[in-house]
């Protein structure tokens, strides 16, 4: 009896060790889909394919070849090219908001704060990566409306909320006077890319916006904004 119990105990122990290894526990191996380096490898491969051939023309086979992984590995991490696109957009978006949110801190000096924020906002909104993402979403929105909704909800709508929050704080500090804060936030964002965004969006060969041109554009936006909403008007 004791020998039988010992054998059963050893069998269970071996099973536990095997299960632990497979789950990434005993020998420290990552569980399926949790290897950050492999995930990054796949995302970079997908990014290159989307840029090279576009979202519609891209296939999961293209992505596996470009990323240098097997199809079974790819599907462990991402179930579709739509999911890959979402992940790429989310990465860019999170970096963007982490950076620009820090610029909207000083409610006592809105003109200076909005100038700094506006310049960085315009630079990021009109970057090559942002333009490519916008064109992709527009191209597939009629067939995949949920993609357009998600893109707007987690991007532009979140950005509007961020600026609205800052303007509300500036109003509370007495440095701005605004009756309709969400409208004012939308106006400022539009002013920061006025006359340039559409050119960049529709003309892939349009020249890049220089730092000087961007600063001049945002300075004009801030001037108009403060003329309409500044506490001293």
Length of the chain: 233
Q: What is the pLDDT of residues 52-73, one digit of tens each?
A: 888 888 899 999 999 999 999 9
Dist. CA 37–CA 144, nearest whole Å: 30
Residue 58: burial class (beta carbons within 10 Å; 0-12, 13-18, 19+): buried
Per-range mean pLDDT, top range of 3-17, 22-36, 91-105: 91-105
> What does the pLDDT average to over 125-150?
85
CB 163 within 8 A of CB 77: no
Dist. CA 84–CA 77, nearest whole Å: 9
Instruction: Please check the confidence at residue 151 and state whether its pLDDT lies above 90.
Output: no
> What does the pLDDT average to over 136-160?
87
Q: What's the pLDDT score for residue 19?
A: 38
pLDDT > 90 fraction of the chain, expressed in percent and rounded? 42
Please list the residues that pair with 230 across neighbouring strands: 176
In the structure encoding, which two tokens stand for residue 41, read together? 């490898």
> What does the pLDDT average to over 97-104?
85
pLDDT band at 26 (very low <50, low <70, confident <90, very high): very low
More confident residue, 37 or 23: 37
Instruction: Please check the confidence at residue 11 and state whether its pLDDT lies above 70.
Output: no
The lowest-confidence range among 99-108, 157-166, 203-212 is 203-212
Q: Please, which residues have CB within 8 angstroms of residue 88's CB and are 6 or more apart in sequence?
A: 43, 46, 47, 50, 133
Average pLDDT, the chain: 83
Q: What is the DSSP letter of 222?
A: H
- The full set of domains in the chain, from first to last, is 33-79 (1.10.10.60), 89-229 (1.10.357.10)
Q: What's the pLDDT score for residue 3?
A: 44
> What does the pLDDT average to over 73-86?
90
Distance set, CA 79 to CA 82, 85, 210, 222 (Å): 8, 11, 40, 45
Q: What's the pLDDT score for residue 233?
A: 60
> What does the pLDDT average to over 131-150?
85
């Amino acid at each position: 009896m004791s020998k039988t119990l010992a054998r059963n105990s050893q069998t269970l122990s071996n099973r536990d060790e095997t299960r632990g290894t497979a789950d990434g526990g005993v020998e420290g191996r990552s569980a399926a889909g949790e290897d950050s380096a492999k995930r990054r490898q796949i995302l970079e491969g997908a990014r290159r394919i989307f840029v090279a051939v576009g979202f519609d023309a891209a296939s999961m086979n293209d992505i596996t070849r470009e990323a240098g992984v097997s199809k079974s590995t790819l599907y462990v991490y991402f179930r579709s090219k739509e999911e890959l696109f979402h992940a790429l957009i989310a990465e860019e978006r999170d970096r963007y908001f982490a950076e620009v949110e820090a610029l909207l801190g000083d409610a006592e000096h809105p003109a200076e704060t909005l100038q700094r924020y506006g310049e960085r906002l315009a630079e990021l909104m009109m970057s090559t990566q942002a333009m490519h993402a916008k064109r992709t979403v527009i191209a597939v929105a009629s067939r995949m409306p949920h993609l357009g909704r998600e893109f707007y909800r987690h991007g532009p709508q979140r950005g509007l909320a961020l600026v609205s929050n800052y303007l509300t704080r500036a109003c509370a500090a007495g440095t701005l006077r605004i009756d309709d804060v969400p409208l004012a936030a939308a106006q400022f964002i539009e002013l920061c890319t006025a006359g340039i965004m559409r050119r960049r969006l529709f003309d892939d060969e349009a020249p890049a916006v220089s730092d000087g041109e961007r600063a001049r554009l945002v300075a004009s936006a801030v001037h108009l904004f403060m003329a309409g909403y500044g506490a001293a008007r």
